[in-house]
Chain A
Amino acid sequence: MARRLTLTGNDAAAEAMRQIDPDVVTCFPITPQTELMHKFAEFVADGDVKAEMVLVESEHSAMSAAVGAASAGARVMTATSANGLALMWEIVYIAASNRLPIVMPVVNRALSGPINIHCDHSDTMGCRDTGWIQLYSENAQEVYDNVLQGILIAENPEVLLPVMVTFDGFIISHTVEVLDALDDKDARDWVGDYKSTYSLLNTDEPATFGPLDLQDYYFEHKRQQIEGMNNATGVIKSVGEAYGKLSGRAYGMTENYMTDDADYVVVALGSTCGTAKVVVDEMRAEGKRVGLLKIRSFRPFPHAEILAGLASAKAVGVLDRSVSFGAPGGPVHKEILAALSGTGDATVVNYLYGLGGRDISLDHIRTVFEELETLAGKTIPADEVRFIGLRG
C-alpha cells in the first residue's frame, strides 16, 4: 500500500531514513542539507526510530564516526553538502577503500569560493573518483526511492561500497512535491536487517580494518574495489527492477526519455532532467525528434545505456553543472565522449550551465535543441564549451 505524501526533497530523504532506521546516523549541519538532519533528529527525539544519532563538531568527524560505526558492523547513514563534503574528503575515500556500505544523501551545492549556497554539482563531481557509487535524483520521489535502493546496492556482498544519493540544493531539497512512499512494513522488509561480513564487535573473529598496505597488497585491494564497482552496474539494475515490482517505479542506470528515434538528444543529471522532459514533450508535439538521456548512476558509469540512448542521435548536447578546470569539457561531457569514441559520427556539444545556482529555463533547453539541429554533422573540438545563461 502506497502512502501519498507532500514533502520537500530533504523531508523525503529523512522519511526514507526513518523507515530504514539505520543503527547509527552521524551528522553536522550545512545548508541546504540541514533540514534533512533536523527532521531525522526529530524522529530520534520523538522515539520514532531506534537509531543512535551522533551530532559531531565537523563533517570530517561525521564521516569518521560513520566509518567507525560501519567498521563495528552497523548500518550507517550520514548526509552533507558542498564544503561539508569537501571537508570529509579524506574519510570519504577511506569509507570506500575499507568497503563500508555507508549511504549518504548529498544535497548538491556549489563549493566555495566565493561562498555560495545554491546548487551546482561541483561538490559530488569532485568526489567522482573516491570509489563511491553516485545516484543522481531528478525530484523528491527519486530521492526517496534512491535512498531506499541505495541500502541494498551498498550492502550487496558483490558490491560492498558506499553510495551517495545526490539531489539539487534548494531546487529539490526545499521544494514541496507530492510523492508516493512505501508503507513502513514494506520498507522495513525491503531493507531487511544488515549483517556485516566482518565486524569489530565480533570478538570471536577479530578483524583489522585499514592497516598499512604497501607494495605488497595495496594494488590487489584496489583491483578488488574496481571489481566491486563493476559489479554494481548489475546490482543497481536488479535492485531497480525489484523496487519496480514493489512500488511500481522501476529504475535503471539511466532513463532514456524518447531517445529511441531521436535525432537530437540532451544528456543531463538531476533536476534539470525534469525541465528537459517538458521541452522534449513540447518539441515532440511540434514533430521534432528530440530526446533526453538522464544519467541516474554516474558511478558506475552507464556505458551500455548511453550507447543505446544515443544510437540514433545526429547531435548530442551534454549539460554539465560543474567544471573540470583545464580538461576538455565538463566531467559528464568527457565521459560521454569516451563512451562514444569509435562508435559513429554524432556531433557532441558541451554546455556549461547553472553554476552557483544560476537558473536554467525551458527556453534555455529549447535553444540547446535548436542549436544542435544547426550543428549536426559538424566537428566540434573536444575542448569547446558553450555557456547557458551566462552574462556578457
Chain B
Amino acid sequence: MSQAIERARTYLKPLKKLPTVWCGGCGLGVVLSSLTRVMAEMGLDKNKTATISGIGCTGRLPTYIDTNTLHTTHGRALGFATGVKLANPELTVITAMGDGDSVAIGGNHFIHACRRNIDITAIIVNNCIYGMTGGQYSPTTPHGKRGTTAPYGNVEYEFDIVSLAAGAGATFVARTTVYHVRELDKLLERAIRHRGFSVVEVVSNCYTSYGRLNKFSGPVDMFKWMKESAVTVKQAGEMSPEELEGKFIRGIHVEKDQPEFIDVYDKLAQDLTKGPSTVNQKLRATIEGYEQLGDKLKAGIG
C-alpha cells in the first residue's frame, strides 16, 4: 500500500507546488490522487504523457502532475489537446476540465472531439458550478438548485454530460464520483487504455460555492449525498423511474470499438502512399501522401 502511494507520488511535481490551492474537503484532491495512482500503476512514461487543462479549479490539476503539461485558456483544453495529439500521436493525452470548461464555454470543442473519436481521455470534474469564479450556476447546475447568480434557484435545465457525450459519438463514456474512489481508479485506467475519445465524468463536491448555497452541512455531507445518490448501471436497470428520481447512474455507459481518428487518417495516408506507415513515420507519410494526392488530382484535372 505505502509503496503504491510512493509510486503515485513520483507523478506529482516537486513539493514546492504543494499544498494545492484547493479548499479543504474539495473533491479535486481525490481526483488528483486517483489520476497519479493510475498513471503509476499503468507505468505511463512521463515524457510520453501530456496532461492538459483549461481554466478553473479543475484546470489547476496539471499544475501538480509531473508529466508534460499545458495550462491553456478557459474552454479550449480539447482544442489544444487535439493539436498535441495530432502533432505527436505517440503521446498519451489526458485533459482535465471542469463542467464549465468542458460543456459551457468549451461545449463546442467537446462535442466535436467526441464526434471525431480522437484518442484523448477527457476527465470532467462536475461540481455543478463555476467553482473558481465564485459559484455562478453552470450548464450542469440542476434545475432549481442555487448558485450565486441564481439565489432563488436555477430556472434553466441542466446537461446530462453522459448523454451529451454518448449522443455526440464518444466511444467510451463513464461516470463516477469522488466518493467512489476505487471505481474512479478503475474507470480512469480503462478510459486511458481505450483507443478513441473517452469521457469520464467525475461528480465532485464544491462545498465552498455549491454546497453552502444548497444546504449541505459540509464537505462530508456532500460525500454522503454522492454515496446515496449514485447507483450502478446494474442497480439502475432494476429500478423503476420513480425509484430513480433524484439518482444518477455510475459506471460505464458506452464502450465501443470504432476506428480511431488518427488510425483512420494514417490508413488513408498508407493507402495513398502504398507504403508502410508507423506512428513515427506518420507525419512524413501523411505529407508525402498529400503531395501525391496533389499530383494525382493535377493529372486528373489536366
Q: Is A34 an interface residue (CB 8 A)?
A: yes
Q: Is the CB of A45 within 8 A of B152?
A: yes
**Segment touching B, from A36-44, A90-98, A306-314:** A36-44
Q: Is A29 an interface residue (CB 8 A)?
A: yes
> Once bound together, how far apart are the Cα atoms of A286 and B270, in whole Å?
80
Given A29-B134, A34-B134, A38-B148, does the pair A58, B104 have CB atoms closer than 8 Å? yes
Instruction: Report the nearest B residue to A59, measured CB to CB.
Output: B105
Instruction: Report the nearest B residue to A86, measured CB to CB.
Output: B73
Given A34-B133, A58-B105, does the pair A115, B71 have CB atoms closer than 8 Å? yes
Q: Is the CB of A57 within 8 A of B134?
A: no
> Once bound together, how far apart are the Cα atoms of A31 and B59, in whole Å?
15
Instruction: Report the nearest B residue to A112, measured CB to CB.
Output: B73
A125 to chain B, nearest CB (A): 19
Q: Is A130 an interface residue (CB 8 A)?
A: no
Given A57-B105, A57-B107, A115-B55, does the pair A38, B152 have CB atoms closer than 8 Å? no
> Once bound together, how far apart are the Cα atoms of A37 and B105, in whole Å?
17
B109 to chain A, nearest CB (A): 11
Q: Is B75 an interface residue (CB 8 A)?
A: yes
B56 to chain A, nearest CB (A): 11
**Size of B's binding interface in residues, CB under 8 A:** 20
- CB-CB under 8 A from B71, the residues of chain A are 114-115
Q: Is the CB of B149 within 8 A of A41?
A: yes
B110 to chain A, nearest CB (A): 12
Q: Is B289 an interface residue (CB 8 A)?
A: no
Q: Is A191 an interface residue (CB 8 A)?
A: no
Q: Is B179 an interface residue (CB 8 A)?
A: no
> Once bound together, how far apart are the Cα atoms of A35 and B135, in whole Å?
11
Q: Is the CB of A58 within 8 A of B149?
A: no
Per-residue CB contact flags for chain B residues 183-203 toward chain A (1 = under 8 Å, else 0) read 000000000000000000000
Q: Is B139 an interface residue (CB 8 A)?
A: yes
Q: Is A83 an interface residue (CB 8 A)?
A: yes
Q: Is the CB of B74 within 8 A of A83?
A: yes
- CB-CB under 8 A from A115, the residues of chain B are 55, 71, 73
Instruction: Report the nearest A residue to B55, measured CB to CB.
Output: A115
Q: Is B11 an interface residue (CB 8 A)?
A: no
Per-residue CB contact flags for chain B residues 48-91 toward chain A (1 = under 8 Å, else 0) read 00000001000000000000000101110000000000000000
> Once bound together, how far apart are the Cα atoms of A115 and B132, in whole Å?
14
Interface residues of B in 96-153 (CB under 8 A from A): 104-105, 107, 130, 132-134, 136-137, 139, 148-152
Q: Is the CB of B104 within 8 A of A57?
A: yes
- CB-CB under 8 A from A35, the residues of chain B are 134
- CB-CB under 8 A from A42, the residues of chain B are 151
Q: Is the CB of B73 within 8 A of A29?
A: no
Q: Is the CB of A57 within 8 A of B139?
A: yes
Q: Is the CB of B74 within 8 A of A29?
A: no
- CB-CB under 8 A from B134, the residues of chain A are 29, 34-35, 38
A58 to chain B, nearest CB (A): 4
Instruction: Report the nearest A residue to B130, measured CB to CB.
Output: A29
- CB-CB under 8 A from A200, the residues of chain B are none
Chain B interface, >50% SS class: loop
* Residue in B75, B104, B148 whose CB lies within 8 Å of A41: B148
> Once bound together, how far apart are the Cα atoms of A41 and B134, in whole Å?
13
A185 to chain B, nearest CB (A): 27
* Residue in B104, B107, B149 whose CB lies within 8 Å of A37: B149
Interface residues of A in 32-83 (CB under 8 A from B): 34-35, 37-38, 41-42, 45, 55, 57-58, 83
> Once bound together, how far apart are the Cα atoms of A114 and B73, in whole Å?
10
- CB-CB under 8 A from B148, the residues of chain A are 38, 41
> Once bound together, how far apart are the Cα atoms of A1 and B200, in whole Å?
59
- CB-CB under 8 A from A114, the residues of chain B are 71
Given A38-B148, A38-B149, does the pair A55, B137 have CB atoms closer than 8 Å? yes
- CB-CB under 8 A from A34, the residues of chain B are 133-134, 136
> Once bound together, how far apart are the Cα atoms of A20 and B49, in whole Å?
53
Q: Is A30 an interface residue (CB 8 A)?
A: yes
Q: Is the CB of A83 within 8 A of B73?
A: yes
Instruction: Report the nearest B residue to A41, measured CB to CB.
Output: B149
Instruction: Report the nearest B residue to A34, measured CB to CB.
Output: B133
> Once bound together, how far apart are the Cα atoms of A298 and B29, in whole Å?
46
> Once bound together, how far apart are the Cα atoms of A31 and B74, in whole Å?
12
> Once bound together, how far apart are the Cα atoms of A279 and B75, in whole Å?
44
Instruction: Report the nearest A residue to B149, measured CB to CB.
Output: A41
Instruction: Report the nearest B residue to A53, measured CB to CB.
Output: B149
> Once bound together, how far apart are the Cα atoms of A345 and B150, in whole Å?
59
> Once bound together, how far apart are the Cα atoms of A28 and B100, in whole Å?
11
Instruction: Report the nearest A residue to B132, measured CB to CB.
Output: A31
- CB-CB under 8 A from A57, the residues of chain B are 104-105, 107, 139
Instruction: Report the nearest A residue to B134, measured CB to CB.
Output: A34
- CB-CB under 8 A from B55, the residues of chain A are 115
Q: Is the CB of A30 within 8 A of B133?
A: yes
Instruction: Report the nearest A residue to B107, measured CB to CB.
Output: A57
A43 to chain B, nearest CB (A): 11
Q: Is the CB of A55 within 8 A of B136?
A: yes
Given A30-B133, A55-B136, A83-B73, does the pair A45, B151 have CB atoms closer than 8 Å? yes
Instruction: Report the nearest B residue to A33, measured CB to CB.
Output: B133
Instruction: Report the nearest A residue to B154, measured CB to CB.
Output: A55
Instruction: Report the nearest A residue to B71, measured CB to CB.
Output: A115
> Could you jot down 26 A-B contacts, CB within 8 Å?
A28-B105, A29-B134, A30-B133, A31-B132, A31-B133, A34-B133, A34-B134, A34-B136, A35-B134, A37-B149, A38-B134, A38-B136, A41-B148, A55-B136, A55-B137, A55-B149, A57-B107, A57-B139, A58-B75, A58-B104, A58-B105, A113-B73, A114-B71, A115-B55, A115-B71, A115-B73
With A29-B133, A57-B104 already in contact, 8 other A-B pairs whose C-beta atoms are closer than 8 Å: A31-B132, A41-B149, A41-B151, A55-B137, A58-B75, A58-B105, A83-B74, A115-B71
Residues on B facing A (Cβ under 8 Å)? 55, 71, 73-75, 104-105, 107, 130, 132-134, 136-137, 139, 148-152
